Amino acid sequence: MILDRLIRHHPKSREGNIKFFLVLLAFVCVAAVMVRLVQWVIPDKPTPLLLQEDGVIQTSSFEDAKTKTDTSLWLPEDLFGSEIFVVGIYPIQTDHVSAGTVMVVLKKEAWRTGQIVYLPGVTLGEERAKYLTTKEETVVVEEKTAYLLPIQGVLPLCKTNVEGFPGTCQFTNVLLFEAGNEVITIASDNEKITQGEMIAMARSIAKQAGQETLTQEVSVDAPVSQ
């Protein structure tokens, strides 16, 4: 009511307001077109799936990764429908990773499903202390205690990635266990790999590590032929 009276009593102000809003609308439209043009000319950068540390070596082949590191690597016999998207090898110590760390990113269709991290030179207790949670389950992996930890927030954050790169969600569970002389973690991305599947993958890795160690011991103890 008051606004209508003001407009009726001040027609020039009303005309000025209309012109101002038209100019503002035109400016917003031009700005939106310019943003879309910039996005088309300069496409968005992909969200990194690996820690971007100095010296990191990337490959999409697990067998190739084995040739680029002294860290012992074993791949689960069953990835439950996932496949390797990228492997990151960190040969030098940084503020975030120890020397020799290897990260394997798994994907299925258009989404990251999980991550396997090999951590030489780290104890299970040291790795366990990094996770600030009081909730944990203990499971047995090749006669050794392993820890299954929930790490999700209230609502896991998911976001799509640029074309050619899988989308990502926050990790919701992580399994910490030992295989050979290394600590290994398996993380599930928004439960795309179930807890049971994570445990099965861990047992497969630990079994391979045990068999490899046994073979090496037999080779060392075998008598040298004359």
In a domain, 11, yes or no: yes
37 pLDDT above the threshold of 90: no
In a domain, 103, yes or no: yes
**Arithmetic mean of pLDDT, 1-7:** 46
In a domain, 47, yes or no: no
Are 125 and 191 contained in the same domain?
yes
Are 207 and 183 contained in the same domain?
yes
Distance CA 191, CA 189 (A): 5
Of 99-103, 168-172, 204-208, 217-221, the range with the lowest mean pLDDT is 217-221
Give Cβ neighbours of residue 138 (< 8 Å, ≥ 6 apart).
Answer: 145, 146, 147, 148
Are 206 and 138 contained in the same domain?
yes
Most confident region among 7-16, 30-39, 144-153, 203-212 by mean pLDDT: 203-212
The secondary structure element, H or E, covering residue 31 is: helix 11-41
Listing DSSP states for 51-108 in one string gives ---TT-EEES-HHHHHTT-SS-----S--TT-EEEEEEEE-S--SSS-TTEEEEEEEE
225 pLDDT above the threshold of 60: no
Residues of the chain above pLDDT 70, percent? 74
Are 160 and 196 contained in the same domain?
yes
Are 83 and 177 contained in the same domain?
yes
Are 63 and 133 contained in the same domain?
yes
Are 131 and 104 contained in the same domain?
yes
Say if strands 111-119 and 137-141 run parallel, antiparallel, or are unpaired. Answer: unpaired
Which is more confidently placed, 153 or 108?
Answer: 108
pLDDT per residue as tens digits for the range 119-159: 999 999 999 999 887 788 999 999 999 999 998 666 678 99
Are 36 and 65 contained in the same domain?
no
Residue 22: the pLDDT is 60
pLDDT per residue as tens digits for the range 164-214: 899 999 999 999 999 999 999 999 998 899 999 999 999 999 999 999 887
Are 127 and 211 contained in the same domain?
yes
What residues make up the domain containing 24? 2-41
Which two structure tokens, joined as six digits, stand for 174? 């992580």
Are 24 and 92 contained in the same domain?
no
Q: Residue 181 belongs to a domain with what CATH number?
A: 3.40.1000
Q: What are phi and psi of 91, to 5 degrees?
A: -75, -20
pLDDT per residue as tens digits for the range 64-85: 999 999 999 999 999 999 999 9
Number of domains in the chain: 2
Residue 29: the pLDDT is 54
Residue 41: the pLDDT is 46
Residue 47: the pLDDT is 77
In a domain, 197, yes or no: yes
